[in-house]
Amino acid sequence: MSEIFDYDVLIIGSGAAGLGVALRIADSARVAIVAKTRLQECSTFYAQGGISAVLDAQDSIESHIQDTLKAGAGLCDPQIVRLVVAQGKECIGWLLDQGTTFTEVESEDGERHLHLTREGGHSHRRIVHAADATGKEVETSLLNHARTHPNIDLYEYHNAIDLITASKLKMTPQRVMGAYVLDRKAQRVKTFRAKSVVLATGGAAKVYLYTSNPDTATGDGIAMAWRAGCRIANMEFMQFHPTCLYHPQARSFLISEALRGEGARLLLPDGTPFMQRFDPRGELAPRDIVARAIDHEIKRLGVDCVYLDISHKSPDFIRAHFPTIHARCLDFGIDMTREPIPVVPAAHYTCGGVLTDAWGRTDIPGLYAVGETACTGLHGANRMASNSLLECLVFARQAAMDLKRRLHEFPPPVPLPRWDESQVTDSDEEVVVSHNWDEIRRFMWDYVGIVRTDKRLQRALRRVEMLKQEIAEYYGHFRVTSDLLELRNLIIVAELIVQCAMRRKESRGLHYTLDYPSRNDSEPAQNTVLMNPSPAGGERP
């Protein structure tokens, strides 16, 4: 029989966004956080660069706003941008209160100040960081508080299967009521009842063959929200980070944009710089421009990679500012103090997601989405560097404030049907899951990558439709496993990306198509919003 757990707030995901909501709401609510692997195995933990915030006297809120709007290529929501940017200083202060330690520098008068670096798209130095492992420091400090809070229960190796909503149970009015969750270690499904659910599962970059993301980034929250009936927006805008380490044994290791912020140059294999030919900002152009430039040069020359060189800086400077990257490169025999680093683009950040309002609320009452899972209006068609952790922190605060105001209004939990496995068996062909997983990621990389065409998108859609049916049949006949759940979510995310890309008949921001290479400025830019015509049930079919 399925176990039942009762909470005020169920948070699915354990990165900065999920932990931020939990820590800000836990004094007034009982909270459960579920993570499908280790708690710290999330995109936050691997974030290198930092958090953008206006802290320098030479900088301004208006400057940060304008930089963000420019990077977003006409699709940012100006009110959301202002909301987020204005809270940067408060969020950094909150992290400091949680024990987060950032890199400091001593001024001429002997005082210690937070060191601010600069990244692509920013007109000023405004990136607060902890050397080159900011995410690890943030995640560790927040987790330390969550582990000791009496009102927060942590569930590692628990993979959410589906949301439970009133409409799925033929009840009215519509609201979220909890979720079914697979306990991966015990291999049994648990029922979590909750007044409110927060989706904080991160992005969906694992839908691509090459990515900087951890294995957890399979779009789970986006897919669950889609099946439950939420609108999904702007999935065509998948950000490819320009510089991931290129090495046969280097799996998904990101080379931070902060290197380019400190003067690193991109070079062709013969040592020739090339970025000035593509943008006057050179290496500090927004990521979509840099990624397309690298992709162009790799295809033009027929080479495997380009190179990122910061060896003109002193070895002491490099080791002090980039200790993690320096050590990791040495593991692969690359001494970045003396030679350039081989790099290639890789899928990095999902700008689209579950459509939310300024409080993180989705279309379903009681259901929130925060962090990379959500489409808030901040990023538009292209996320500016280091605005992602800022968005996590700000919308964690927004959602927690709204929950504090409204949690008492949500009705108490009602009896829920337990997970039913009476009609299924153990799988006898796990190879089907691994084969389909590989096929999705390969055709998405080949057909829906940095440069797209209508023909490539049509090819991708045909494969999506075929695999979607095959995966649904498999899901209906066998007991769920974590790999199967991720595969089921990946095919939905792939379909959403393809459908959004097919609807946008222009090139804008991160979406570049050879069939419509220009941006359409003859009319106001519009978000690509999809609505599920037939939301599926969360119960076992």
Read off the pLDDT of residues 94-115 as tens digits, 9 standing for 90 and up.
999 999 999 999 887 888 999 9
Give 405-410 contacts, CB < 8 A, sequence gap 24+.
407/8, 407/9, 407/28, 407/29, 407/195, 407/196, 410/175, 410/195, 410/196, 410/365, 410/366
CATH number at residue 500: 1.20.58.100
Query: What's the chain's average pLDDT?
Result: 94
Give the phi and the psi of residue 106 in degrees, each rounded to 5.
-95, 130
- Identify whether residues 399 and 447 lie together within a single domain: no
Task: Give this prediction's pTM.
Answer: 0.92
> For 279-293, 298-312, 369-383, which range has the lowest pLDDT when averaged over its residues?
279-293
**DSSP 8-state symbol, 76:** S
pLDDT band at 299 (very low <50, low <70, confident <90, very high): confident
Residue 166 domain flag:
yes
The domain boundary residue, chosen from 347, 374, 390: 347
284, 289, 238, 120: which is closest to 511 by C-alpha? 238
User: Do 29 and 151 lie in a common domain?
Assistant: yes
Among 258-262, 409-413, 499-503, the minimum mean pLDDT is found in: 409-413
Strands 188-199 and 265-267: unpaired
Mark whether 64 and 158 lie in a shared domain: yes
305 and 376 in a single domain? The answer is no
Look-up: residue for tokens 């519009």?
526
* Euclidean distance between CA atoms 456 and 453, whole angstroms: 5
Residue 370 confidence (pLDDT) above 90: yes
Residue 537 pLDDT > 60, yes or no?
A: no
pLDDT confidence of residue 98: 97
Indicate whether 55 and 144 sit together in one domain: yes
| Displacement of CA 411 from its chain's centroid (Å) | 31
Same domain, 117 and 160: yes
CATH number of the CATH domain containing 183: 3.50.50.60
* Residue 330 burial (CB count, 10 A): 12
Q: Can you tell me whether residue 266 is helix, strand or coil? A: strand
> Do 328 and 367 fall within a single domain?
no
Q: Which two tokens stand for residue 24?
A: 């800000």
- Judge if 83 and 163 occupy the same domain: yes
- The tens digit of pLDDT for each residue in 321-349 reads 999 999 999 999 999 999 999 999 999 99
E strand segments, 15-54: 31-34, 51-52
Tell me if 326 is assigned to some domain: yes
The arithmetic mean of pLDDT across residues 207-235, rounded, is 95
Q: Comparing C-alpha atoms, which of 376, 354, 365 is closest to residue 230?
A: 354
pLDDT band at 120; cut points 50, 70, 90 = confident
Domain-embedded: residue 276: yes
- Ramachandran region, residue 202 (left: φ > 0; alpha: ψ -120 to 50; beta: rest): left
Last residue of a domain, one of 330, 347, 364: 347
- Give the whole-angstrom CA distance, residue 325 versus residue 322: 5
Percentage of the chain beyond pLDDT 90 is 83
In a domain, 540, yes or no: no
* Same domain, residue pair 356 and 450: no
Rounded distance between C-alpha atoms, residue 286 and residue 129, angstroms: 19
Statement to judge: residues 163 and 83 lie in one domain? yes
**Cβ–Cβ < 8 Å for 400, 25:** yes
418 inside domain: no
Asked if the model's pLDDT at residue 1 lies above 70, the reply is: no
Q: How far apart are CA 92 and CA 122, in angstroms?
A: 18
Listed range (1-5, 201-205, 329-333, 442-446) with the worst mean pLDDT: 1-5
pLDDT surpasses 60 at 540: no
Nearest residue to 218 (alpha-carbon basis) of 533, 440, 431: 440
Rounded to a whole number, what is the distance in angstroms from the first to the last CA of the chain? 17
Statement to judge: residues 33 and 107 lie in one domain: yes
| pLDDT score for 229 | 97
Split at pLDDT 50, 70, 90, the class of 425 is: confident
Give the end of a domain, one of 326, 347, 368: 347
Query: Which value, to the nearest 10 degrees, does the dihedral of the CA atoms of residues 373, 73, 284, 15 take?
Result: -10
pLDDT over threshold 70, residue 45: yes
Query: Any residues with CB less than 8 A from the CB of 160 and at least 6 apart, and which?
Result: 12, 34, 36, 179, 180, 181, 182, 201, 220, 224
Identify the domain containing residue 149 by its residue range. Answer: 4-236+351-409
Q: At what angle do helices 387-406 and 88-97 cross, to 10 degrees?
A: 80
If pLDDT is split at 50, 70 and 90, which confidence band does 541 have? very low
Q: If DSSP codes are grouped into helix, strand and coil, which group holds residue 104?
A: strand
Select from 317, 205, 303, 311 the least CA-distant residue to 254.
205
Give the CA radius of gyration of the chain. 22
Cβ–Cβ contacts within 10 Å for residue 442, how many?
13
pLDDT digits (tens, 9 = 90+) for 241-293: 899 999 988 877 889 888 998 999 999 999 999 999 999 999 988 888 899 99
**Domain tally, the chain:** 3
Active site residues: 287
Query: What is the SS3 string spanning 310-336?
Result: CCCCCHHHHHHHCHHHHHHHHHCCCCC
Distance between CA atoms of 436 and 280, rounded to whole angstroms? 43
The reported pLDDT for the residue numbered 509 is 93
Q: Is residue 142 part of a domain?
A: yes
| Distance from chain centroid for Cα 183 | 24
- Whether 24 shows a pLDDT value over 70: the answer reads yes
Which pLDDT value is given to residue 109? 81
In angstroms, the CA 176 to CA 368 distance is 10
Confidence of residue 119 (pLDDT cuts 50, 70, 90): confident
How does residue 2 score in pLDDT terms, banded at 50, 70 and 90?
low
With a pLDDT cut of 70, the percent of the chain lying above it is 98
User: If residue 83 lies in a helix (H) or strand (E), which one and from where to where?
Assistant: helix 78-86
Kindly state whether residues 129 and 60 are assigned to the same domain: yes
Query: What residues are paired with 191 via a beta bridge?
Result: 4, 180
Say if 123 falls within a structural domain.
yes
In a domain, 381, yes or no: yes
Strand 188-199 to strand 367-369: parallel, antiparallel, or no bridges (unpaired)?
parallel
